[in-house]
Amino acid sequence: RLSIFAVLTQLLFILLTTSLRLPHLLFNNVLITFALAIAMLAAIDLVEKSSLDMMVIMKPVLSEGEVTKRFNPGGIRIPSWAGTLLGILLLALVIFLTIYFEPDYSLFGLITVLIFQRIDRNEPAYERTLRKDLKRRRWLLCLLFFALLNLLYAAGSIQTYGNSYYAWIEMYSILAIAFFPLYERGKKPSPLAKYFFYAFYPLHFALLLLVFAAMRA
């Protein structure tokens, strides 16, 4: 679903920038980045589970019977080595496509998704009843790793563009960490809310392009 919206959004951007004669404003939208990020997480999960199965198979079997292979994505049974290889190839493909097409936020976006997914998976789920020390730990981990990523991004931008405002503008995204305690994993958005945000992203950019074109006329 996300990939479909990413493609539709990109087609809308191409149509608008071409018809309004604004080709310099065309970029590969962030929904493409999110779709690639999902593929990246799937690839990493594939490698991890396949590697775990290989470790289990390599252990001595102390009792009679064959070691059961747990790697079974979507009901399709494949050897662990093939799953590992497939995951590595998929991850390499995701990185290549991200570098080649340079969607919005590019590798920075992929690493951001990976950081928060790892913290979300390994730390206790945030709930109102969660102990304060665990809430604080979760929040500090998000802040620490995201701030470090932003500093590395800023350092790379300075090397590329010089010490300018644009090199540090992404640092403002760290402020979003302040709102993380409002998130609770168990709550899922309604279908209306979900599709509203899918539609809002391309529509608000389309509106901005139309306003920009009108101001130039």
Q: Of the spans 88-102, 111-125, 126-140, which averages the highest pLDDT?
A: 88-102
User: Which residue's structure tokens are 């392009």?
Assistant: 209
Q: 191 pLDDT exceeds 90? A: no
Question: Quick one: what percent of the chain has pLDDT higher than 70?
Answer: 85
Taking only the tens place, the pLDDT of each residue in 144-171 is 999 999 999 888 888 887 777 777 888 8
List, in order, residues 6 or more apart from 45 with CB less than 8 Å away: 87
Give the separation between CA 153 and CA 176, rounded to whole angstroms. 17
Helix/strand/coil for 70: coil
User: Which pair of tokens denotes residue 209?
Assistant: 């392009």
User: Which pair of tokens denotes residue 132?
Assistant: 């304060």
Mean pLDDT along residues 32-58: 84
End-to-end Cα distance, the chain: 37
Lowest mean pLDDT among 4-18, 68-82, 199-213: 68-82
Taking only the tens place, the pLDDT of each residue in 56-75 is 554 444 434 333 444 455 55
Q: 90 pLDDT exceeds 50? A: yes
Mean pLDDT along residues 190-206: 87
Give the separation between CA 191 and CA 138, rounded to whole angstroms. 28
pLDDT given at position 74: 56
Mean pLDDT along residues 29-34: 94
Lowest mean pLDDT among 1-10, 17-26, 185-194: 185-194
Distances (CA, A) of 74 to 52, 78, 94, 214: 18, 11, 21, 50
Domain positions in the chain:
2-125+185-216
Q: 4 pLDDT exceeds 80? A: yes
Is residue 32 packed enough to be buried (19+ CB in 10 Å), middle (13-18) or exposed (0-12)?
A: buried
Give the separation between CA 57 and CA 61, rounded to whole angstroms. 8
DSSP 104: T
